[in-house]
Each structure stands twice: as C-alpha cells, then as structure tokens.
Structure 1
Amino acid sequence: MKILMVTPMPPQSQAPGAIPLVLHAELTGLMQHHQISLVTVAGLEPGEQEAVNRLASVGLDVRAVRRTQPQGWQRWQRRWSLASYWLSGKVPWRTVWFWESEVQHILDSLLAEKTFDLIIVEDNAMGVYSYRTNTPLLFTEHEVRRPRPIDKAGLRQSNLLLWILKEADWARWLHYQRSVWRKFDRVQAFTQRDAEAISTLAPEMAGRVRVNPFGIEIPSPTDVEAQEQDTILFTGNFTHAPNVDAALWLGQEIMPLLRENCPGIRLWLIGIYPPPEVRALACSDIQVTGPVPEIEPYFSRAALVVAPVRIGGGMRMKVLQAMALGKAVVTTSRGADGLATDGRRPPLVTADDTFGFAQAILRLLSDDSSRRELGRQARLYVAANFSAQSYANRIETIYAEMQGARS
C-alpha cells in the first residue's frame, strides 16, 4: 500500500514523551511492507529537527514544517497570532499550539500530486486540517478528553484569569473532538475505555470506532545484575497533567509508607518540564532529574518501575516500555489500560489505593526471584502482543475492513 501518515511531531526512537515513540513504532512496522509518506511538524523539542533529517536520510518521503525560535518582534508576533487564533476560534489551546498553516498547503499539494491507498492521521491536533480526498481516512485518538465538573480546587492553586482560561479551554474539547472524529472513516483508540468514551460522546461514531493498542520496538533486555537495591523509577512527560498527579501521589502519600518499611528506598522521578510542585518533592531519597539523554540506563538500574496514574485516558507508553525492557511494574488499573489481550491479564501488579500500592512495591522489592520472573514474563508478553509489527498488522486489518465496507 501507499500510505500517508500525518503526525504532530516526527517519529523518534528516543524521545522524552510517548507520542514520538508510538509514531516511530508504527512507522517501523508499516515500512516493512508498505510505501510511506510523512507529513509532520518539527518543533523545538529535543531531537525533532534531527529526527526529520534521519528519516529523510533513509529514503523516507518526508514533508516537514520546521519551526524555528522566533526572535525579537517575531516572538511577539507569534504570541499574538496564537492568542488571536484561540480567542477567535473554538479549538483547544493544544491544537492552536500545534497549528501551522503550511501543513494545510503541504497536504493540499501532496494529495493533488499523489494517490494513496490509506491516510493515517495521528492525534487530535492534526484532525483540525482538511483532507480533501476520497482515500480511506483512519484517525488515531491518542487520548479522549472527557467532560468534567468545574475544577474548583484549581482556582486555589492559580490566579483567577489563568483558571478561567483553563476552564474555558477544557470546555472546548467536547465539541472539537466530535468535529474531528466525524471527518474519518474509522477512529482507532488505544484502549477499550477510550473507545467507549468516543461512542458515548458521539453516539453516531459507535460503528466506526476500533480498539488498537499501540506497539513498541522491542529493545534488548536490561541487565538484571545492574539493578540497584530498593530503587524505584517513575518516568513521564510532566507537561501532561496525569503524570504530575502521579508524581505527587507517589512522593507525598506513597513514599512515606515506603520509608517506614524500607528505610533505604530511593525514588527517581525522570521527565521533561517538572513543574515547581514536582521539583519540590526532591529530598535525600527522591531525585527529580528533569530530562536525561537516555532513559534506558535508569530502567536498567531500577529494581522496580512504578506508574501510579489515576487520571487521563489513552495507553501508557511508560508501562509498555518498562515491560519490554524486562522490568517488573506496579501500576494502577488505569495504568494497565489497553494491555489485556484475548482475556489474558498482563504480567504486572496493579493497585488503586495508597496502602495497596505501597504494599505491592514492598512485596516485590523484598522478593528478588518473583520480581525478576515478573519482568521476564512481562517482556515475553509485550514481544508477543505489542511489537511494532503487531501494531501494523492490526492497522492492516482495519484497512481491509474499510475497503470491504466501500465495496
């Protein structure tokens, strides 16, 4: 097949956030049997410009809008442009931030000059564009934003104007998501929870939603002998609110219970842009690193990986990544979303309350044999069900169904 992928950022095998890793696994899996063209935006985040160069160097047809750091009056011009777009429109700020008018020009010219068998549009930020074609359109919803009550607690933590803007922005998500989903022949969600949310929020989409958990490029396993006793790791992009909530729950409520029963315990919190409240957790046994050049050495040294995520949707790359590396994982039921296959529970430990989460950590830290066996089973499970090729195969199945519906 000739496939066009449209992504909000370049696929990367090493990145501080989950989306570039998901995109890279998808691209790797599809490139095995298909001809891919890529339209993307290369911003100022670490490695994005270099990623475009690497993809082009291996012969991929890449059409990238390259952002540069505006200087002087251009900086104020961009800020005004973004603010005007948000104030005059109905789209959420995240979409405004990713918007580039040049992307629409590239799409229009590319669809006029080339014929594709399938167009895959990744993330709701790219759903704002027009796709003027009769080619089957598949949209990937990375995370459904659900309506919620007004966040009165947030008012106590920020100034009034900022709080009003955040609440107004959140209120835009329902209408915006519906308008995006309706453009596409099929919408794939990573978890059953998100698929059901789409069908609930937009009942007319129920017949077009499919569950397709993302894949990962299977890395070499970590060296079990490199594990450091009583060291636990949480990693995440801290621009994402669920990761901030997880870090605060871990540092403020779970760690005190762990200290009582395991005095030598250490926690690493690793990820870009930790906000002040996360940085404030740093102490003698909690290290807040910020971004690191490579995450694998930290995975290797950690005795246990934890993902105490309580809010948000989508699937957790941090969990899948740890399992693929052969690490034992403690997470919540929400953190394990998307990992069950054919009725089989994934080989990890889940707990949804503070005491239960702490006890699960303590049990695994005290039993080297069980912890290592859990990590071994986790790696086998991911390799069998969540490889890059497995993900691509499921996309091919959805495409075949789309073709059948058209015939």
Structure 2
Amino acid sequence: MQAALLYLTHRIPYPPNKGDKIRSYHLLKYLSKHYRVYLGTFIDDERDWKYVEEVKAFCEDACFIKLNPFAARIRSLTTLLSTKPLTLSYYYNAQLRAWVDQQLKRKSINRILIFSSAMAQYTDCACDCHRIVDFVDVDSDKWRQYAEAKAWPQSWVYRREAELLLAYEKQVARNYDYVTFVSEKEAGLFKQLAPEVADKTCFFNNGVDVEYFTPHFDYANPYPGDAAVLVFTGAMDYWPNIDAVSWFAQAIFPAIRAEIPRMQFYIVGARPSREVTALAQLPGVTVTGAVKDIRPYIAHAAMAVAPLRVARGIQNKVLEAMAMGKIVIVSPQAMEGIYAVPESELFIASDANQFIDKIILLAKENRLTSNVGQAARLRVLQDYNWTENLTRVDSLFADNVGKKQIK
C-alpha cells in the first residue's frame, strides 16, 4: 500500500493557469502517483469551485475551505499591532485546522508537504512526521521589494511584513526537515538570509508541459491580419504584472509604435485591474481579459515580452513562450532563476531604452524566424521537465533522517 501524505496549499491547485497553481498542480499530480494524498486547501475564487471534483480525483481525501479575500484582508489587518505576519492571519482557518488535526490523528500519515510558508502553521506540532515545506519563492523578499516601490503608509506595512515573515520563514526552516525553492538562485538568496539552515535548503525547478505548449499545432490567429504583436501573458490582478504592463505600455511601446506603426501590444490575462483596463485607451494597446486558450496569442505574436520590475522565483510566462519557440525579451528580474543563454535563447533588456532598441532591431532585421526560438524550446526540453525535476521530492522524502542534501 502507498504511504499516506498530507499536502497543504494556500490555493486550490487547479486549474494550472497561473504561477503558483502551475507548480502546486504538477506537485499534486506527481504525488498522487506515489502516495495516498490528503489535500487541504483554500478556494479564493468562486469560479474555482467547479474544479473540486477534478482535484478530488487525485486525492484519498480532501478539504476545501472558502476564503473571502476581502474578509481575509480585514482579518489580517487586525494583527498589525502584534508581532505576527499578516500572511499567517490571512490564511488561518479554524475549520482547516480541525481537519488537519483529525487527519494526523486518524490516518497513518508520516509525510507532510507544505506549499507556501503560510500553510506551515497547520502542522507546527506534527514533529514526528517527515516534513518538507516548499516556500517556492522567498516571499519576505517580495514584500521588501513592494516596500521599496510603494509610498507610505503602504511601504511601512510591506516593510513590516517583510521583516516578520522572514523571521517566520527562518523559524519554519529550523523546525522542518527540508525547505525547497523554485530555483537555485532563490534557494541561494534564502541561504544568505538564513545561513543557519543552509544545509537543509534546496530547490527543484518548475517544468513546462511541452506537449501542450508546443509550436507544432495549427492555432487560429486571434490578431488582425497585418499586425505585428508584442504579447504579455499573466494574471492581471497581480501587482508586479500590473506594474510591468503599465510601464511597458506608457514608457516603452509608444516609441516602438512610432518606428513600426503596425506593431501592437496585447495584454492577455484574467481579471485585469482598472489600471490595466485603462491602458486599452492607448494607441495600439489591447487588453483581452480572460481567454479560453493563451497558446494562439503566444503562437501568433511576433515576440513575447516580460518587462517585470518586481519579481521573485521563476516566471512561467517566460518558460511557456520559450517552449512555444517564441523570441522572448525579458527584464533581468524576469530572467532570475531561468537558465538560458542571452542573445541565443532569449534577450534581456535592463531599461526602457534597451527594450525599445532591441525590439525595433529584432523586428527590422527580420530575426523573428531565426533559430533563437528553436534554441529556446530546446532549453526548456532539456532543463524544465516536470517529471525529472519532481523526482527530487521523492529523494527528500526517502531521506527520513534528514541528512541528505539535494544540490
């Protein structure tokens, strides 16, 4: 009989249509083949309730808790005068706590995988189990970046969260057998911040479903026939994405369009904020909102852009575009954690002028059909295979005495 494993995620791991869900879904899919999975998770989007049965199919048992983002935000703000990170209050639920306690008492669970630091609060007493927490990113550093980008009083709130969450991340890392991250660079940052737990800090890369994200299908063209399109894909209620497309549309794209009038900028992603929706008023800019399938938008774009100024971990949008053989132009922040050869497999632009110059040069040199896209897909095939990367999780669980380090 397969061993029992408790898996806790801060958001239902389906559908795999945004960064954290892509990783948590593939983890669930992989774990279900090797363990009897007991899943505890939140649902913070009413539209995701329709996926409950699909997720249950991977599990021995599962608990789904409704999370109202507005109520959770208000609840977390009540802890501002404490020394507790807002993140923990945001994701605390007594019903989920009771369910977890019940599973640990009634089931022969001796393995626990926590997805994101906020969920570690539910298994802080399960010291007899072999526990791994997948931090994915160094969330505390993300809040630090937010603090630097925002004005007071938001900057104060974000700086407070960065400091308190880092202290909590260190506490969890001390108490758990291993902590994992999405990339070697992300793990390296945490080792610098918490050198006392460097020996139990490791990583496994994300992957890409290369059979799904492939350039070899005949996708219908969603763009006007004569358009040369720059495309950005992502969840458009996520502040780093909002900041990225706002900066690109306002500070970069007008100069590109002045030089190449048929160039258009498409922002493709669900739940666009009012700030993003307003960008559609700019010449040549289109905001699609949610689309059924993002692959046609990537396949028929001239280039994919990822001009993020705030980022942590690995940008799946970059890997997906590379898997589809696209030329991709990224900021250094969006490049972090991705192994690829600049100028051969993708292109890096450090500021607005570099984005402008590089995109115009690529378009005018007609390098859109060069071998760069082929090399990009090959890189993904070599280094971003889900099955191969997730075998590291098995290696960690197999090491029940907590002494083996995956490098």
- Calculate the TM-score normalised by the size of structure 1: 0.84
In the TM superposition, 1:35-74 aligns within 5 A as 35-45=35-45, 47-56=47-56, 58=57, 60-67=59-66
Shift of 1:239: 3.9
Is 1:4 the counterpart of 2:6 in the alignment? yes
Q: Which of 126, 136, 144 is equivalent to 1:142?
A: 136
Shift of 1:210: 0.7
Larger RCO (CA under 8 A, 6+ residues apart): 1
| Residue deviations 1:291-341 (CA, integer Å, cap 9, x gap) | 333322322332211111222311111111222233221112321222228
Report the Cα distance in structure 2 between the residues aligned to 1:357 and 1:162, rounded to whole angstroms.
Answer: 30
Report the Cα distance in structure 2 between the residues aligned to 1:372 and 1:95, rounded to whole angstroms.
Answer: 48
**Aligned equivalent of 2:150:** 154
**Aligned equivalent of 1:311:** 310
1:232 is paired with a residue of what secondary structure? strand
| Residue deviations 1:189-228 (CA, integer Å, cap 9, x gap) | 1123321221122221111111211223221524477565
Query: In structure 1, what residue type is equivalent to 2:112?
Result: I
Report the Cα distance in structure 2 between the residues aligned to 1:153 and 1:395, rounded to whole angstroms.
Answer: 35
**Aligned equivalent of 2:90:** 97
Q: 1:87 to 1:334 in 2, by over 3 A?
A: closer
Percent of residue pairs identical = 24
Q: 1:7 to 1:250 in 2, by over 3 A?
A: same
1:327 is paired with a residue of what secondary structure? coil
- Calculate the TM-score normalised by the size of structure 2: 0.84
1:281 is paired with a residue of what secondary structure? helix
| Residue deviations 1:153-190 (CA, integer Å, cap 9, x gap) | 733xxxx6656544444443222322232231111111
**Aligned equivalent of 1:211:** 203
Q: Which of 242, 245, 258 is equivalent to 1:244?
A: 242
**Aligned equivalent of 1:298:** 297
Shift of 1:81: 4.4
Report the Cα distance in structure 2 between the residues aligned to 1:345 and 1:4, rounded to whole angstroms.
Answer: 43
Report the Cα distance in structure 1 between the residues aligned to 2:320 and 2:14, rounded to whole angstroms.
Answer: 14
Query: In structure 2, what residue type is equivalent to 1:24?
Result: Y
Report the Cα distance in structure 2 between the residues aligned to 1:215 and 1:153, rounded to whole angstroms.
Answer: 30
Shift of 1:88: 5.8
Which blocks of at least 5 consecutive residues in structure 1 are unaligned?
A: none
Which blocks of at least 5 consecutive residues in structure 2 are unaligned?
A: none
Question: Is the Cα–Cα contact under 8 Å of residues 110 and 128 in structure 2 kept in the other structure?
Answer: no
**Aligned equivalent of 1:173:** 165
**Aligned equivalent of 2:252:** 254
Report the Cα distance in structure 1 between the residues aligned to 2:367 and 2:250, rounded to whole angstroms.
Answer: 29
Report the Cα distance in structure 2 between the residues aligned to 1:104 and 1:390, rounded to whole angstroms.
Answer: 33
Q: Which of 372, 375, 389 is equivalent to 1:374?
A: 372
Question: Is the Cα–Cα contact under 8 Å of residues 49 and 66 in structure 1 kept in the other structure?
Answer: no
Q: 1:304 to 1:192 in 2, by over 3 A?
A: same
2:208 is paired with a residue of what secondary structure? coil
Q: 1:83 to 1:310 in 2, by over 3 A?
A: closer
Q: 1:43 to 1:255 in 2, by over 3 A?
A: same
Question: Is the Cα–Cα contact under 8 Å of residues 339 and 345 in structure 1 kept in the other structure?
Answer: no
Report the Cα distance in structure 2 between the residues aligned to 1:403 and 1:215, rounded to whole angstroms.
Answer: 28
**Aligned equivalent of 2:31:** 30
| Number of residue equivalences | 392
Query: In structure 2, what residue type is equivalent to 1:339?
Result: I
Is 1:196 the counterpart of 2:192 in the alignment? no
